Structure 1
Amino acid sequence: MTEGERLTKQDFQRLSHFRYQLRCFLRQSEDICREHGVTPLQYQLLLHLKGFERREWATVGELAERLQAKHHGTVALVDRCEESGLVVRRPGREDRRRIEVHLLAKGAELAERIAERHQPELRHLQEEFQLPGWPRLP
């Protein structure tokens, strides 16, 4: 859409539908997380650690970026996950000043169980967004 073009009713319908489906997914995810005894943010932290490219750990700064959160808030989240035995902090291998956050076995298992519960809704979203007017997903 170029500057000056007005949004159509269909544009608003598509955006409304997208936001609705996204909110349904997030609401269901919140319920799944609570059933497993963690907050949605704790699960997201575990998910990002398990899904981080080319390694099994991340720095607090990298996690803050993935969570779109402030650094100090991410530190507090890591603290809570560490207290629950889900993650552990370790000094960086190359730079000892840099702290790496690693998943522990309990955290990895929990992330896997919760992610499995999300699969039906993810398949539903993929089908939803392959409707006419939506770009095809890979």
Structure 2
Amino acid sequence: MPLENPVLNDEDYGALAEFRFALRQFQAFSGERAAEKGLTPQQHQALLALRAAPAEEATVGFVARRLLLKPHSATGLIDRLEKLGLVTRHSTAADRRRAQLQLTPSALELLASLSATHKEEIRRLRPLLQTLLERFG
């Protein structure tokens, strides 16, 4: 159970600041790579979430939960991905109102390229992140 008012020292604040800075650097890196491919960071994250989702869970609701969006915002995001030719919708047999989402071959190719680049960056950041996480131990 966490303490109500934990006592933090200067090193704790330094570690928290460095950790947040490293996360923001990764987000900036990720956003730049997505932009190079013609995507927003949110579109990239949605594609990644759909690629990782079990087929039966690949819905607008799933994207909303994974991206911490309201359902109507996720619907707009999927609409834009559909217009870009990166996502298709298919009605389910059990509930015609519920659409399964599927990445198109071009989305899969785009995502594979982005993911390889991101994996390299994570490998580069790994020692720094491990050091920072150990400071919280």
Tell whether the structures are fold-level matches, with TM greater than 0.5: yes
Query: How many residues matched?
Result: 134
Shift of 1:49: 0.8
> Once the two structures are superposed, what CA deviation does each residue of 1:16-74 show, in whole Å capped at 9, x if it has no partner?
1111000000001111011111111111111111111x337611111001011111111
Equivalence for 1:133: 135
Letter in 1 for 2:72: H
Letter in 2 for 1:109: E
d(CA) in 2 for partners of 1:62, 1:10? 39
Q: Secondary structure at the match of 2:66?
A: helix
Pairwise mapping of residues 1-138 of structure 1 onto structure 2 (< 5 A)? 1-52=2-53, 54-55=54-55, 58-131=58-131, 132-134=134-136
Contact persistence 2:64–2:70 (CA under 8 A): yes
Cα RMSD, aligned residues only:
1.7
Scaled by the length of structure 2, the TM-score of the pair is 0.89
Structure having the larger proportion of residues in helix: 2
d(CA) in 2 for partners of 1:50, 1:29? 17
After superposition, the Cα gap between the structure-2 partners of 1:91 and 1:20, relative to the gap in structure 1 and judged at 3 Å, is same
d(CA) in 2 for partners of 1:78, 1:4? 42
Where does structure 1 lack aligned partners over 5 or more consecutive residues? none
Q: Secondary structure at the match of 1:97?
A: coil
Where does structure 2 lack aligned partners over 5 or more consecutive residues? none
Shift of 1:93: 3.4
d(CA) in 2 for partners of 1:14, 1:65? 29
Letter in 1 for 2:51: K
After superposition, the Cα gap between the structure-2 partners of 1:22 and 1:56, relative to the gap in structure 1 and judged at 3 Å, is farther
Structure 1 outlier segments of 4+, above 4 Å: none
Scaled by the length of structure 1, the TM-score of the pair is 0.88
Contact persistence 1:81–1:87 (CA under 8 A): yes
